[in-house]
Amino acid sequence: MSYKLRNIIVLGVLCVLLCGISGYIVFYHYPAQIKDAEKKIASLRKEIVSLEGIEQEYNNIDKIIKEKEQRLANLDKRVVPAVTPAESYRYLISILEYSGMLDFDILFQGTSEGKGYKYNVYNIKGEGPFYVIYEFITYLEKGPLFYKIERLNLRMVESKDKETMMYQIIIPFEMEIWALFADVQDLPPIKRTLASVRVPQATNPFYPFIYNNLPANADSLPEVERADLKAIVNDRILLSDADGVIHDLKEGDRVYLGYLRRIDADNNEAEFILNKGGIVEKFSLYLRFGEETKGKGKGK
């Protein structure tokens, strides 16, 4: 083979290789890169479109945050990171220093969680004059700590004083309250105290214009409307009256103004029939569950 032919062959091979590489780059590599670039451009365009309203959205969120900060700054309630049953009990006793004398017991029924906060649930049962209960509720709701009355039952009981035989109106009550707490940082100090609460005037809706002239409780029978159901054992119940005396009753046993009609252990209920001067009505007591705080609160 001549030197000239060999050079022609080498150049031809190099030309073929060069054409193959160029064809690969031009017809495959570059189009693939262009396609990837077009995908990225399309994705970036979508992101740009989605970000068009972000500034306005940010301004709206910033406005909401500032409004909430302002509301927290003006909030005249003390937000605490935690509340114990003992602290709640002491707070309720401090309220009685302002509202007046009131007997009650408190059952701690557990802690629940809301959106961004928690709360202790308490069951409070007691009795007293209407105006004291009314002031107690007002101080509880308008006081410096976060307490919410979730459920409230009031009932009027007409009774006679055992010594003076004078008529008296007693209001037994039962309520479920929530003590709210949350871990919120950097809140300003509040000015509100129990002493700053102002109680609006109210009319006693339970005051009777005509008394029922009920008979005296000469046999010292339990007044179930002022009692607390403590236990259901087989076919009997244990009842604590307003003086703290425990009564053991079975179906048919007498109570003041009536008798024990039915014991429903499945529903933790004791049902009574009461005759109030010719007006016959049903009245039920239910077992209360929870951790009882020792003692009763009395205001001065």
- Mapping DSSP onto H, E and C, the string for the chain reads CCHHHHHHHHHHHHHHHHHHHHHHHHHHHHHHHHHHHHHHHHHHHHHHHHCCCHHHHHHHHHHHHHHHHHHHHHCCCECCCCCCHHHHHHHHHHHHHHHCCCEEEEEEEEEEECCCCEEEEEEEEEEECHHHHHHHHHHHHHCCECEEEEEEEECCEEEECCCCCCEEEEEEEEEEEEEEECCCCCCCCCCCCHHHCCCCCCCCCCCCCCCCCCCCCCCCCCCHHHCEEEEEECCEEEEECCCCCEEEEECCCEECCEEEEEEECCCCEEEEEEEECCEEEEEEEECCCCEECCCCCCCC
The tokens describing 45, both together, are 């365009």
Nearest 10 degrees: Cα torsion 187, 191, 196, 198: -50
* Contacts for 252 with CB less than 8 Å, ≥ 6 apart: 259, 260
| Alpha carbons 90 and 69: distance in angstroms, whole number | 31
At 138, phi and psi to the nearest 5? -65, -45
**Model confidence, pTM:** 0.66
The tokens describing 155, both together, are 């009932």
| Alpha carbons 144 and 40: distance in angstroms, whole number | 58
> Quick check: 277 and 257 in contact, CB under 8 A?
no
| pLDDT surpassing 90 at residue 238 | yes
Domains of the chain, by residue range, sit at 3-74, 85-196, 224-288
| Alpha carbons 27 and 42: distance in angstroms, whole number | 23
Mean pLDDT of 120-129: 92
The top-level CATH class assigned to 224-288 is mainly beta
Shortest CA distance to 193 belongs to which of 114, 60, 109, 98? 98
Could you tell me the pLDDT band of residue 299, with boundaries at 50, 70 and 90? very low
Cα 162 to the chain's mean position, in Å? 41
Between residues 234 and 174, the one the model is more confident about: 174
Mean pLDDT of 296-300: 48
**Which residues share a beta bridge with 181?**
118
Q: Alpha-carbon torsion 5, 8, 14, 17, what sign?
A: negative
Could you tell me the pLDDT band of residue 90, with boundaries at 50, 70 and 90? very high
Mean pLDDT of 199-222: 76
| pLDDT surpassing 90 at residue 248 | yes
| pLDDT surpassing 50 at residue 219 | yes
Mean pLDDT of 219-235: 89
Could you tell me the pLDDT band of residue 35, with boundaries at 50, 70 and 90? confident
Q: With pLDDT > 90 as the criterion, what percentage of the chain qualifies?
A: 33
The top-level CATH class assigned to 85-196 is alpha beta
129-156: pLDDT as tens digits: 899 999 999 999 889 998 999 999 998 8
Tell me the chain's radius of gyration from C-alpha atoms.
Answer: 39
